Amino acid sequence: MMPQYPNQIITRPFANNGETRRIPDTTSTQGQASYAQGFPVETQLPLANGGIAPSRLDFNGILNVLSAMGFWQQSGGQMLYQAALSYTRPSIVHHNGRLWWCVADNGPDALTGVVEPGSNPNIWMDLMDFLTSGDGSPGSGRPGTGGAAIRPVGEIIQFYGGTPMGQLGIAPDGFLVCDGGSFPAGKYPQLEALLGGTNTPDLRGVVLRGYDPGHVRDPQGGSRYAGHIQGDAMRNLTGTIAAPMPESTGTGVFSASPGQNSHGSAFIFYDSATFSFDASRQVPIASEFRMVNACILFCIKHD
């Protein structure tokens, strides 16, 4: 049959105000239930044959624990981490105010032993980091989700700002600002291995250009590598000027001051005309070559 949502909620744990007995893991007390044995065999025998009736307190205790768990989960509660329990993927627990995803087996019954969430990212991973990154390899600390939300270490994002006013300089959680700054060695081992050091790429004031090893649009593409900075440049400007004297003229970026006959009417030679070049007559100018742009903060995923 297809599962259906229950038509009655658990209003409170069973026997919440009644008498219960805390069920032990094991017991040697005749007639008492335990987690290891359940109700012992004597609770099945007739009383005339030495049997012991099952205890109301045991029933209440068992049903109280089970319904308390259901009541908690029914209200959206998440299980708290317990060092006494063993965990395996894909367990999720709440610990120290955060949710944690189990990456690898841990606990008293696991080879790794007891590992507290937050102490080893290869065993427990912050759930939000898990949802936004990962490569799916077991035990790697990067389990992945298999969806479009995966964000690999080294991903560059464009972040609008770190404050409500959009002021730049503060990276979002899980990222570092690409300003060439350093981070502690060993803190982000995957990013350190990817970068070959502990300094973030310095992307201040630059735009990003796609890798083009086939020289389709980037003539230097085959000799470039991740993070390579290409200096500014422009295509060469060439042209010619026809300058008959004294009718010399200039158009566009050129202007001309026609030569004057300073030698009198007996001479047919004129002084040299003066030409000037000024790109500002046609285009906006500044101390750099640039495109129309908007200021944004580049950040890199660290783990």
Q: Which tens digits make up the pLDDT trace of 51-62? A: 999 999 999 999
Domain of 103?
78-152
Average pLDDT, the chain: 83
The answer to whether position 42 is within a domain reads yes
Q: Which tens digits make up the pLDDT trace of 230-267? A: 888 877 766 666 555 555 566 666 666 655 555 555 44
Choose between 256 and 102: higher pLDDT. 102
| Residue 176 CA: distances (Å) to CA of 85, 227, 251 | 35, 15, 51
Give yes or no: residues 165 and 126 share one domain. no
CATH, residue 93: 2.10.10
The residue out of 152, 183, 201 marking a domain boundary is: 152
Give yes or no: residues 41 and 109 share one domain. no
Give yes or no: residues 109 and 135 share one domain. yes
* pLDDT, average across residues 283-287: 80
Q: pTM here?
A: 0.48
- The number of domains in the chain is 3
